[in-house]
Structure formats: structure tokens, C-alpha cells
Structure 1
Amino acid sequence: MLCLVTFLSACGGGSETPTPALSVSIAAPAAANQVFSLNTPIAVSARVTVNGASAPDGTTVNFFASAGSFATASTLTHGGTASTTLTASTPGKQTFTATATFSGATGTSSQTVYVRQPPAPLEILVPAYFYPSTGGSDWDRMTASALAHPGLKVTAILNPANGIFNSTEPRYLLAAQDFVGAGGRLLGYVYTRYGTGARSVSDIKANIDRYLDLYGRSLISGIFLDEMAADPARIGFYREIYDHIQSRDPGLRILGNPGTVPAEGYAGVVDAVVTFEGTGAGYASYDPRQTADWLYSRPNSTQAMLAHNVMTCQAMQGIVATAATPLANAGMVYATDRVFDYATGTGNPWATLPSYWTRLLETVEAINQGQALPGCP
């Protein structure tokens, strides 16, 4: 009997061909490059190995996407790799898979990507928390810049008396008129104390009304709600404020500033949100994919960043270029070399325009136009 079994094995009889070890891995897009723009084809490739070696040419790989289409959903390997392109149909988080079968073995791999809406041009958002003094003030510089760059949106946050006043201040009124006349836009500053009740809704509404009644809708394009909460428990507080602003004029733009990414529900009570306020070094690690992928379903024009402690023109250009990437998905940007010291709580980064103000304008304009960045002094 032993001799018979040995003979059959040698001849191939009485045994089954072992199932090969098949492996599929996504080769592209790379994990570090997972954010793309809607309607832009994404190069996708899958690597297939059989028993540790490249799969034979002609091995079929099937691709499937949760929200999108592949140029070729079923393609063949060459040199162990199958390639196609994916076009996403909706913004947000997407998952696609690649599946291969060979000699009874099946392997599958998946990859997550994030797709943003086609971006709008960048806009400059200036926390203009400085007084419009006579004779060459920073308000004069902003007005001159708005005139010199008519194709660039420059929005300034008007902040007389920390947003609490009962009459117009002549210098602010004149500066506002000049700036808007030059093509700039103004948001009225109102602080909200994070919705804790330290400032009542009625007081906040009164501040909003002062801007509209005293400075007028012809000057005020919207309201900047500073010190906005980020946790979902406070959304109702801000919904009441939102409804009030809408009742005054549904065309007013409402920008909230929690200084960080808030709960998703805040997208329903403001038109845009400052998702980052901090140092330039801190912005280098900004990555909404990990905790707030819902931001990719929102237009970049609804997201703003404000960076301080950005000490050189070159650093500013790096920050603005980062803000414009699909990963950051910012639409409103600002950087300054003025400093805030977190250890001591001292410094006002918004007390003046940055020393590289003109280069900031030129940098944003160059990025919007797809041109080379201007040189730094």
C-alpha cells in the first residue's frame, strides 16, 4: 500500500494543486496623497503578486468605487500591475477596491481617498483690529491694495470698540467707505464667548443690529462671530443668532471663528468657519482627514485659516501654498509675522498688517492664476 501511494503522488494522481498565495495592494494613489478635486481623474493602480512574484501578464483586476466610475473597471496586469483612472461623482470620503483572481485564489485591497469640490480662488481675510488713524494707516494700505488688485477678493473684519458701540466712529466710517469703494468687503466683528451665556443672545443680536443700522448694509457684507463654540451642545445657541441675521438680510455672509474644526452641525448655522487659528508651525500639521473628513464635502470658500508667528516672506508663501492644497481645502487665508506668545498669553498678532503685506497679496494672486510665486526680499 505504501508503494502504491508513493507512486500515485509522483505521477500527480491522488493529490490537488495547492492554491497559490495571491496578494493585491494599491500602488497608487499613495497614502500620503489622498485628497483630490471633483471631476479630476485620479490615477489608480494595483500591484498583484502570486507566491511572492509578479502575477502573470493578463491577470484580470476588477475595480469598484463607492461613489464614482473607472475609465476601465476591469483591466489586465502587465508586469504585475493593473492601471486605470477613477473619476469621483460626489465630494467627501470615498473608498475603492481592487480585486484579482488567479487559479482559484482571490485577493482584494481597498484604499480611502477624499474628494473636494472644485476650488474657488483664494480670498484674503484680514483681522483688521487696528485703528484707521490719519496719514498712511493700515486701512489706507488695505484700500490701496484693493484698488491695485481688482481681481483679488480682500475681506476685512471691522472691529470698532471690540464690536460694542452705540454710534459710528467717524474715522472707522470713513475708512470703511474708502475700503468698500475700492472693492473690498467688510464683516462686522461680534464676540460670542463660546456660547456659554457669558454673552447673552440678546446682547449679541444688539451688536449685530448696530453694524447694520449705523454702518449700513451698503458697507457691511456680513458678520464675523468670534469666540464661536465648537462642541455640538452649543449649536442651538448659534442657530438663534443665525436666524436673526437671516431675518435682517439673507444675503449677509456669516463667518464663525472657533479657531479649530467644529462639530459638523455648525455648517448649518454659519456660512463659513475658521477651521484654524494659530501659529504657522501648527498649521503644518493641519489634517482634516483624521477627525473632520466632512469638510471635504464643503466648498473651500466656506473654510478659513488665520496664521500668526509666520516670521518670513518665504514662510508666508509656504503657508499660503499649503492652504491652497486639496488637503487643507482653505478658501480664505491670512498670515502675519506678528507674534502671539502662548506661554505668557501676550502679543496681539492682529494689531497691524504684516510686514510682507504686499507680497501676501501678490502670492495669493499668483496661486489663483497658476503663476510662479513672486520673489521675497
Structure 2
Amino acid sequence: MHNKHRIATLLALTAALAGCGGGTDKNSTPAPAPAPAPAPTPAPAPVPSAPIGVNFVLPSNNVLEASASDGLVVNVAVNGSPAPNGTSVTLEVNPAAAATVAPVAPTTVGGVARATLSVGSSLPTSATFQVKASAVSQSNTATDTVTYYVRPTPKDLQVLVPAYFSGTGTSSPWNTLTAGATSYPKVQITAIANPHSGILTPNTEVNADVLTAMTAFRAVTKPAGDPSNRVVGYVATASGSSGALSVTDVKATIDNYIRLYPGVLDGFFLDGMSADSTRLAYFQDIYTYVKSLDGGKYSVIGNPGTYPAAAYAIANSGTGVADVLVTYAGNAAAYQAIDPQPANPWVYAKDNTAQAMLVHTASTCTDMQTALAKANTPRMNTGMVYVTNLTIGTPWSALPTYWLQLLGTVDAINQRRTLPSC
């Protein structure tokens, strides 16, 4: 009996173990895996208690094209010292559709926050927008703003030469001009011919030497697809003895140019253009007249020699003033201080080749290259250039001693090559 009791007890225990899952059941549901531990909540960015200050490191270039990107750098200080690492800066674009920034809330490392600005792909040229940076402490909020401008995609640099010299003889600068154009056929050159000091009357006779020189210059062979060299006639709009010339007199000069130099003129250079709005209607009248001739084939280059009122550059009720404006005519040293911002943002509404500079007294080849480099910056947005070592008084009476190096420098800039050595 004792053994039978022991066997019964073991059988009961075995059955109990089987009922508690000691066996395998293909239809049973496995126990769920334990839930993962929740990710730790990131620590909030530190909020300094002392007064905070914020300022942009001004960009080297605040003039961009559509779809361009640029780095944003913001300095943040707390009580005069670099902000602790991880201090948050908020970036905002106004208008918001103009561009994006990433990240929108960068944090500082060593007191500096960084982000990338991307301009919208469909943003119109001449658009202006601002980026604001703000940072907060327990005692104050600090902000700073930087302005950006959008310009058209730049075109290759061109050369605008005041060719105020005789065409007589083999030593004429016209021959050197043409030889240079032959050596650098990919550089477009516009020569300003001045055979009659800018005033032509019905009694004026053709200058045969200059006509021959102009014809040879325009005939320089260019690679297929490259623009031809051009010649424009110098037109005075003021006389030293009588002041402003009448619109009638200026139109007569233009007519006589066409009569005396048929087929070799591509436009006209209006010297003495005003910079203020008092003579705006005068130049609009002349521009409209030029555009009415020969199917509108002639271009107009105006020379105020400085930044004129915006109305000179932007069409006024459909009436223009010039296709190109010379916004600087002067010495090389002063040119380095010229800046269209903030007074003349209209320059970014136009192609770079709608602005020209004429720089004299650039004594060396290096001075010339420095001037060209400045003109080529997005901030200057200047696409027609000329630099000479000749000085005030007769700066346009001959070509510069570094004429070929000037053309080589322009060509290298356009081809994105290393500049030729001086």
C-alpha cells in the first residue's frame, strides 16, 4: 500500500506540472516580449541667466542668385563672454518664402551657432529678404538681422574701351586694340569711338582713318557662338561753353553718326549723363529716339560716372534711359571704397553687364587686377570693365601699358582660370 500511494502521488505531480506548461503546446500564444525602455528625454537647451547678446558675422557675400546656398554664422555672448555650448539660436527668414535655413534652431559651440541658408529656386531677381537671429536668456532677448539681395545669374565680363584716339598710322592705338581683340577672341570688347568730340553737325565730315580702324576692329574673327566686338559713337550731352545741349542737338549728332559711319556703329555712348532726376525726361527722350532707329538695333550706354537715381536704371512707365550705366568713372584708389549698399540696391535688379566701370590711375598690373576683382564681386555686380594706368587729364588718350594683361585677366576670370602673372 505504501508503494501504491507513492506512485499515485508521483502521477498526480506529473499531471500538475504538465498543466502548468511543462510540456509543449503548438497552439499556445507565447508570452509578449518586455516593452523597450523609453528613450531618455533630451535635456533642454540651457537658458542663460545673465544678459545675452547676438550678432551675425556679416557674410562676405550677401548678394546671391536663385537656388544658391550660403553659410550663416552667429556669435552669441552671455555677459560679454561666449555663450555656453548648447545655447539655442532661432533663425527666421522674412518673407518666409524667400529662403530656408537648416537647422532653424542651431545651438552654439564655443559661442558660435551655424546654419545653411538656401535661396528659393523661383525667387525673382531684385528680391530682398532678411534673416533674423534671436537668443533668449532669463533676463533679456537679443536679436540681429542681416539683409540679402538676389541678382540675375552673372554673365561673362566684357571690356568697355574709351577709344578716344586717332586712327592714323601704324602706331595708332586702334591697331593695338584690334591686335588684342585678335589675341583674345573670346573676350567681348566694346570700343567707344570719338572722332568728333561728341558733336556732329551736317557740316561734319567723316574721319576716314577712324572709319577704317573701326571696320577692322569689328571684323576680328570670333569663335562660333561668341559675341562680336562692338563700336559705339561718343555723344556729348553738355558743352563746356554752353552747358547742356538740347535734345535736338543730341539727336542731330546721332543722325550724323549714322550718316557718316553706316554699318559700323552698334550704339551710342551718352557722356555727361546726370545722376539726379532733374534731367531724367531729357535722357528718356534721347533713349526713346535711339530705339526708334533702324528697328531698335542700337544700344545706349549712359555715363553718369556714379550711381544715379534709381529711375535712371529702372524703366519708368515703359520708358528707359540706357541699356548700360557707367556707375563709376574715377581713380583706382577711390574705387576700392565704392559700395552700392545700402543706397543703391537697384543694381541687383539688372544683369551685371548693365553696369560698367572706367578706372584710371591704376599704376601697375597688380592694381589693375585688384580693380577687376572688385568689379567682379557679386556685391558690385559690374560686368563691363576698363582699367588704365593713365592718369587724370588724359586717361583715355591711349591704351594702358598692360593692355594684353588686362584682356588676359578678363579671359581668365571668365574661364575660371588662374590669373596671368604680372
TM-score normalised according to structure 1 size: 0.85
Shift, 1:348, TM fit = 0.9
CA distance in 2, matches of 1:99, 1:66: 14
| Partner residue, 1:83 | 114
| Partner residue, 2:267 | 222
- Bigger drift between 66-75 and 308-317 goes to 66-75
- Tell me if structure 2 keeps the 8 A contact 1:26–1:111: no
Question: Counterparts of 1:32-43 in structure 2 under 5 Å?
Answer: 33-39=60-66, 40-43=68-71
CA distance in 2, matches of 1:48, 1:259: 42
For 2:63, give the aligned amino acid: F
User: Which residue of 346, 357, 371 maps to 2:403?
Assistant: 357
CA distance in 1, matches of 2:128, 2:338: 17
- Bigger drift between 266-275 and 56-65 goes to 56-65
Q: Aligned in 2, Cα 1:281/1:47: closer, same or farther, shift over 3 Å?
A: closer
Q: Tell me, what secondary structure is at the counterpart of 1:351?
A: coil
- Tell me if structure 2 keeps the 8 A contact 1:191–1:225: yes
Structure 2 residue runs of 5 or longer lacking an equivalent are 1-46, 221-227, 316-320
For 1:185, give the aligned amino acid: R
Q: Aligned in 2, Cα 1:85/1:233: closer, same or farther, shift over 3 Å?
A: same
CA distance in 1, matches of 2:82, 2:305: 49
| Partner residue, 1:277 | 329
| Partner residue, 1:324 | 376
Establish whether residue 180 from structure 1 lines up as the match of residue 218 from structure 2.
yes
- Bigger drift between 327-336 and 120-129 goes to 327-336
Establish whether residue 209 from structure 1 lines up as the match of residue 244 from structure 2.
no
Deviations 1:130-173 (A, max 9, x none): 01012132111111222221110111001111133334221121
For 1:189, give the aligned amino acid: Y
| Partner residue, 1:129 | 164
Establish whether residue 193 from structure 1 lines up as the match of residue 249 from structure 2.
no
| Partner residue, 1:162 | 197
CA distance in 1, matches of 2:117, 2:73: 10
Shift, 1:111, TM fit = 1.8
Deviations 1:237-266 (A, max 9, x none): 101001101111423211100111111111
Q: Aligned in 2, Cα 1:92/1:309: closer, same or farther, shift over 3 Å?
A: farther
TM-score normalised according to structure 2 size: 0.76
- Tell me if structure 2 keeps the 8 A contact 1:62–1:73: no
CA distance in 1, matches of 2:170, 2:420: 28
Establish whether residue 45 from structure 1 lines up as the match of residue 73 from structure 2.
yes
| Partner residue, 1:7 | none
Deviations 1:68-103 (A, max 9, x none): 212425223042433212234343543210123456
- Tell me if structure 2 keeps the 8 A contact 1:23–1:49: yes
Shift, 1:332, TM fit = 0.8
For 2:284, give the aligned amino acid: R
Q: Tell me, what secondary structure is at the counterpart of 1:110?
A: strand
CA distance in 2, matches of 1:337, 1:191: 25
User: Which residue of 143, 149, 155 maps to 2:178?
Assistant: 143
Establish whether residue 296 from structure 1 lines up as the match of residue 324 from structure 2.
no
Shift, 1:299, TM fit = 1.8
CA distance in 2, matches of 1:114, 1:100: 25
| Partner residue, 1:234 | 279
User: Which residue of 84, 109, 129 maps to 1:94?
Assistant: 129
Q: Aligned in 2, Cα 1:241/1:305: closer, same or farther, shift over 3 Å?
A: same
Deviations 1:248-301 (A, max 9, x none): 142321110011111111113111111111111111111111432222222211
| Partner residue, 2:290 | 245
Q: Give the number of the structure whose alpha-carbon radius of gyration is greater.
A: 2
- Tell me if structure 2 keeps the 8 A contact 1:45–1:82: yes
Q: Tell me, what secondary structure is at the counterpart of 2:282?
A: helix
CA distance in 2, matches of 1:186, 1:297: 26
CA distance in 2, matches of 1:29, 1:19: 25
Q: Tell me, what secondary structure is at the counterpart of 1:162?
A: coil
- Tell me if structure 2 keeps the 8 A contact 1:22–1:48: no
Establish whether residue 264 from structure 1 lines up as the match of residue 314 from structure 2.
no
The structure in which a higher percent of residues are strand is: 1
Q: RMSD across aligned C-alpha pairs, in angstroms?
A: 2.5
User: Which residue of 38, 50, 55 maps to 1:26?
Assistant: 55
For 2:369, give the aligned amino acid: Q
| Partner residue, 1:307 | 359
- Tell me if structure 2 keeps the 8 A contact 1:70–1:86: yes
Q: Tell me, what secondary structure is at the counterpart of 2:267?
A: strand
Deviations 1:322-367 (A, max 9, x none): 2112232211111111111xxxxxx211111111111111111111
For 1:274, give the aligned amino acid: V
- Tell me if structure 1 keeps the 8 A contact 2:134–2:144: yes
- Aligned length, in residue pairs: 350
CA distance in 1, matches of 2:258, 2:288: 15
Q: Tell me, what secondary structure is at the counterpart of 1:326?
A: coil
- Tell me if structure 1 keeps the 8 A contact 2:357–2:385: yes
- Tell me if structure 2 keeps the 8 A contact 1:120–1:301: yes
- Tell me if structure 2 keeps the 8 A contact 1:63–1:70: no
Q: Aligned in 2, Cα 1:200/1:53: closer, same or farther, shift over 3 Å?
A: closer
Deviations 1:197-231 (A, max 9, x none): 63110010111112223322x32111100011111
